[in-house]
Structure 1
Amino acid sequence: MKPSTHGHVHVVDDNPDIRIYLTDLLRQLGYTVDSYDSAESFLAQSMDIFPAVLVLDVRMPQMSGIELQQAMKAMGRNTPIIFISGESHSQDIIQAMKGQPVEFLLKPFQFPSLIHAIDRGMVLDGVHRETFIRQNDIRRKWQNLSQREREVLVLMLEGHTNKGISELMDILPDTVKKHRAHVLQKMQTPHLADLVAVCKDLDVKAWRSALR
């Protein structure tokens, strides 16, 4: 399913009246909507559509909204969440906010407040998507590097000079220069500053660990 220009909204609430009400209003405003009566059905049936947000009830039978939030994080699924709740305890709110949702709305909430939160979530999901695409592109280029080039790349990102890399790797400075040139070429970054910029969101320590 392709999202509308407004984006896609997943509504998860065990109350059928609320599901129908929100689904109808959101569709009238131009969003595409899927609704689910439980967290379990969302996990089993939903598609990872972009851009999208999840409007999620906190307190539901069996799996709660907070448990679904934690399950999605474990899956690496970063769809922004807007919690809605009619009777949450303070501990529920604190636990939900630890997962950094877009908003936490108490029922009955004003519909414009929900729309404002949804639109902020769509923007955030766009950022998530751009980051995902960029990081995947960098990982693809990383796979094209030789083992030596990967080692040089990590040391370059850590700020080591050619001389420093030469000493750490026990190779000739001219060899370092060749590896460095190959790294910049394969990573499609003309200069070191460009390489640092495209890799700024990556975990260099994890890259170093992967070399061992």
Structure 2
Amino acid sequence: MQGYTVDTFENATAFLEKSMDISPAVVLLDMRMPGLNGLELQARLEALGRKTPIVFISGESDKDEIIEAFRLGAVDFLLKPFNREKLCQVVDKALDMDRQRNQEFINTDALRRSFITLSAREQEIFMLIVQGLTNKGIAEITGIQPGTAKKHRATIYQKFEVNTSAELIGQCKGVDLSKLMPTEDVKVQ
């Protein structure tokens, strides 16, 4: 099929037991399957934290099922019969979405790894730097001296391997900075 690598599973349980969470990928999911139906599998994947885009295919779904599939994050819903061209367009769209999601995860993870090496004060100053504040502005907000702000900035640049605020801000572009705070299972070394 059009250069795609395809894995098939006999039912949803087999998929849950044997599939690998890889990227880029897309799950083509039929609404009607033995055992768990498509919506039930979609909910299980969500509960497991699997973010692979899902495209539903079905020959007999009602509007409530279609609405629920989209509400739970389906990329598309193809009603049978559909042609190969339409399927390939939808699969390519979902693969592109998954590539972008994976790249965002990688960027956020790299920033998080550097961010957790910062002291609490440096983390505070980091957030002010990426807002575009100068040393003087940082000093006014935090109550420290501009020279101290400058020293913290230098340490932050070193830990993020950048030379300017513009480079640091560039690393943060498109990243939800609230996700930089460490989760409980992440330990500072």
Alignment TM-score > 0.5, same fold: yes
CA distance in 1, matches of 2:82, 2:63: 18
Q: How does 1:1-212 map to 2 (within 5 A)?
A: 26=1, 29-205=2-178, 207=180
Q: Which has the higher strand share?
A: 1
Between 30-39 and 76-85, the greater mean CA deviation after superposition: 30-39
Cα deviation code 1:13-49 (max 9, x no counterpart):
xxxxxxxxxxxxx3xx432221123222212210122
CA distance in 1, matches of 2:77, 2:87: 9
- CA deviation after TM superposition for structure 1 residue 102, in Å: 3.0
CA distance in 2, matches of 1:146, 1:57: 49
Distance 1:159 1:205, change over 3 A: farther
Between 73-82 and 41-50, the greater mean CA deviation after superposition: 73-82
SS in 1 for 2:99: helix
- CA deviation after TM superposition for structure 1 residue 177, in Å: 0.6
- The structure whose RCO (Cα within 8 Å, separation 6+) is larger is 2
SS in 1 for 2:151: helix
- CA deviation after TM superposition for structure 1 residue 209, in Å: 9.8
CA distance in 1, matches of 2:47, 2:145: 44
Distance 1:208 1:70, change over 3 A: same
Distance 1:201 1:70, change over 3 A: farther
How well do the aligned residues superpose, as a CA RMSD in angstroms?
A: 2.4
Distance 1:205 1:50, change over 3 A: closer
CA distance in 2, matches of 1:113, 1:192: 45
Distance 1:123 1:209, change over 3 A: closer
- CA deviation after TM superposition for structure 1 residue 106, in Å: 0.6
Between 146-155 and 86-95, the greater mean CA deviation after superposition: 146-155
AA aligned to 1:48 is D
Between 50-59 and 200-209, the greater mean CA deviation after superposition: 200-209
Contact 1:154 1:207 in 2 (8 A): no
Distance 1:75 1:200, change over 3 A: farther
CA distance in 2, matches of 1:152, 1:101: 39
AA aligned to 1:127 is Q
Segments of 5+ residues of structure 1 without an aligned counterpart are 1-25
CA distance in 1, matches of 2:182, 2:91: 39
Superposition TM-score, scaled by structure 1 size: 0.74
Superposition TM-score, scaled by structure 2 size: 0.82
AA aligned to 1:125 is D
- CA deviation after TM superposition for structure 1 residue 61, in Å: 4.7
CA distance in 2, matches of 1:98, 1:197: 33
- CA deviation after TM superposition for structure 1 residue 113, in Å: 1.6
Segments of 5+ residues of structure 2 without an aligned counterpart are 184-189
